[in-house]
């Protein structure tokens, strides 16, 4: 049985197959309308979500399957003190596959140990978010035509941003990738990403504090929100929350082919005046998220058309 807990759980070849399948789903959605008939997806969300949960649900429904689940810890037996291990044993009796989001890092990994169905990590604390990574990779591959030879800027909360950790970990497997990591001192990428992922793989990267100077060199700018819910100290959050705001004026300095990605939700970090810029692809990214989750569900369930 396969789970997706970390982006590296899929080899590059498997990842390519998932992205190829997602691209075919995009072109021929009707072909896949009944693939998951009589199958159930459980969405176990112990933390807020709009896109991830609803894109999973939409993906399963598009495949002809159905969906059960809960969207907050308060409405599940977690509020009575049930462990993740017990909950997943129970859910294994109800569903064929599940997607779990949890504030504790590693919770989906614990779930996978006790599960009889594939577990998909839909975000665990400030750790990883592998299905957002699949979404990001599909967006980049579809709109840039490649996953290699790229200079990618990550901007904002690189410390707590799990989407950043997962996407960096996945991209270092491709050739000629360079990163510019733009964040305030307090929100730099964690040491384990810097050392075990970037330095260990000999990946060129720079850590800088200003956005403006790097814009001209980037193929992709991955903007992120400052992760309010991970701060211990509200004052610190307030001080840092608007550290970068991408404006029309700043975009004049950017490369004309640079794509702006954002996992969303956006708070203030991208001015709405940029939404009409053809380089702003964060809403297209949302659509790719559905195709790629359809492909992932099929892959983990071993289903084909
Ligand atoms: C991200 C997340 O939950 O980590 N959202 C998402 O799943 N698209 C990013 C965020 O919350 O900032």
What's the pLDDT tens digit per position in 205-223?
A: 999 999 999 999 999 999 9
Lookup result for tokens 């001192």: 185
Cβ pair 261, 288 in contact under 8 A: no
Domain boundaries, the chain: 7-128+289-301, 130-285
Q: How far is the CA of 31 from the centre of ligand 1 (A)?
A: 30
What's the pLDDT tens digit per position in 142-194?
A: 999 999 999 999 999 999 999 999 999 999 999 999 999 999 999 999 999 99
Confidence of residue 26 (pLDDT cuts 50, 70, 90): very high
Lookup result for tokens 């021929």: 28
What's the pLDDT tens digit per position in 277-299?
A: 999 999 999 999 999 999 999 99
- What rounded mean pLDDT belongs to the chain? 97
pLDDT of residue 287: 98
**What's the number of CA atoms in the CB half-sphere (13 Å) around residue 152?**
26
Contacts within 8 Å (CB) and 24+ apart, 85-94:
85/110, 85/111, 85/113, 85/114, 86/114, 87/44, 87/111, 88/44, 88/114, 88/115, 88/119, 89/114, 89/115, 89/116, 91/42, 91/44, 91/115, 91/117, 92/116, 92/117, 94/40, 94/42, 94/68
Distance in angstroms (rounded) separating the CA atoms of residues 252 and 275 = 14
Q: Which two tokens stand for residue 207?
A: 């850590």
Cβ pair 94, 104 in contact under 8 A: no
Pairing type for strands 40-45 and 97-102 reads parallel
> Which uninterrupted H or E stretch holds 191?
helix 191-193
What value does the mean pLDDT take over residues 75-81? 91
Q: How far is the CA of 266 from the centre of ligand 1 (A)?
A: 9
pLDDT of residue 191: 98
Considering the four listed CATH numbers 1.25.40.10, 3.40.50.1370, 3.10.105.10, 3.40.50.720, the one that applies to the domain covering 130-285 is 3.40.50.1370
Q: Which two tokens stand for residue 47?
A: 């933390």
How many CB atoms lie under 10 A from the CB of residue 144?
16
Q: How far is the CA of 294 from the centre of ligand 1 (A)?
A: 19
Confidence of residue 69 (pLDDT cuts 50, 70, 90): very high
pLDDT of residue 4: 98
Is 53 a known active-site residue? Answer: no
**Which residues does 236 contact at the CB level (< 8 Å), separation at least 6?**
186
pLDDT of residue 134: 98
Q: Which amino acid residue places its CA nearest to atom 6 of ligand 1?
A: 263
Helix, coil or strand: residue 116: coil
Confidence of residue 73 (pLDDT cuts 50, 70, 90): very high
pLDDT of residue 240: 95
Pairing type for strands 205-208 and 177-182 reads parallel
How many CB atoms lie under 10 A from the CB of residue 227?
19
What's the pLDDT tens digit per position in 234-268?
A: 999 999 999 999 999 999 999 999 999 999 999 99
Q: How far is the CA of 63 from the centre of ligand 1 (A)?
A: 24
Q: How far is the CA of 74 from the centre of ligand 1 (A)?
A: 20
What value does the mean pLDDT take over residues 28-42? 98
Is 141 a known active-site residue? Answer: no
Per-state percent for the chain, helix, strand, coil, to nearest 5: 45, 15, 40
**What's the number of CA atoms in the CB half-sphere (13 Å) around residue 51?**
21
Catalytically annotated residue among 101, 127, 225, 293 = 101
Tell me 210's DSSP state: -
pLDDT of residue 256: 96
pLDDT of residue 137: 98
What value does the mean pLDDT take over residues 110-132? 98
Considering the four listed CATH numbers 3.40.50.720, 3.90.550.10, 3.40.50.1370, 3.40.50.2020, the one that applies to the domain covering 7-128+289-301 is 3.40.50.1370
Is 127 a known active-site residue? Answer: no
What value does the mean pLDDT take over residues 39-62? 97
Cβ pair 96, 301 in contact under 8 A: yes
Is 174 a known active-site residue? Answer: no
Same fold, 7-128+289-301 and 130-285: yes
- Select from 263, 267, 286 the residue to mutate for testing ligand 1; criterion: most ligand atoms less than 8 Å from CB: 263
Q: Which amino acid residue places its CA nearest to atom 1 of ligand 1?
A: 263
Q: Which amino acid residue places its CA nearest to atom 7 of ligand 1?
A: 52
Q: In the chain, pLDDT over 90 holds for what percent of residues?
A: 99
As beta bridge partners, residue 121 has: 100
Sign of CA dihedral 71, 167, 103, 238: negative
Q: Please give the sequence-ordered ranges of beta strands (E in DSSP) within the chain, or none if there are none.
A: 40-45, 66-70, 97-102, 119-124, 150-155, 177-182, 205-208, 220-223, 259-261
Catalytically annotated residue among 52, 87, 109, 163 = 52
């Amino acid at each position: 049985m396969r789970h997706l807990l970390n982006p590296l759980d899929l080899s590059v070849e498997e990842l390519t197959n998932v992205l190829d399948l997602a691209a075919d789903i995009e072109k021929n959605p009707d072909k896949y309308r009944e693939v998951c008939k009589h199958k159930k997806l459980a969405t176990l969300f112990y933390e807020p979500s709009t896109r991830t949960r609803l894109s999973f649900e939409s993906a399963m429904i598009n495949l002809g399957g159905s969906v059960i689940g809960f969207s907050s810890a308060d409405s599940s037996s977690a509020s009575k003190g049930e462990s993740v291990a017990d909950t997943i044993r129970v859910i294994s009796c109800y569903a064929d596959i599940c997607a779990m989001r949890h504030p504790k890092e590693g919770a989906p990994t614990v779930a996978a140990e006790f599960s009889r169905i594939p577990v998909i990590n839909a975000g665990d604390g400030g750790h990883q978010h592998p299905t957002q990574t699949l979404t990001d990779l599909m967006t980049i591959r579809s709109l840039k035509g490649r996953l290699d030879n790229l200079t990618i800027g990550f901007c904002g909360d690189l410390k707590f941003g799990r989407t950043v950790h997962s996407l960096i970990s996945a991209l270092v497997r491709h050739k000629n990738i360079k990163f510019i990591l733009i964040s305030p001192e307090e929100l730099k990428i964690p040491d384990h990403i810097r050392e075990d992922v970037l330095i260990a793989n000999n990946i060129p990267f720079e850590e800088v504090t200003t956005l403006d100077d790097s814009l001209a060199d980037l193929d992709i700018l991955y903007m992120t929100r400052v992760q309010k819910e991970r701060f211990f100290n509200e004052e610190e959050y307030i001080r840092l929350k608007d550290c970068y705001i991408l404006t029309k004026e700043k975009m004049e300095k950017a490369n004309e082919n640079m794509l702006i990605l954002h996992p969303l939700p956006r708070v203030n970090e991208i001015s709405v005046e940029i939404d009409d810029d053809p380089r702003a692809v964060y809403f297209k990214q949302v659509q790719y998220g559905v195709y790629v989750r359809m492909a992932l569900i099929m892959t983990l369930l071993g289903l084909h058309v």
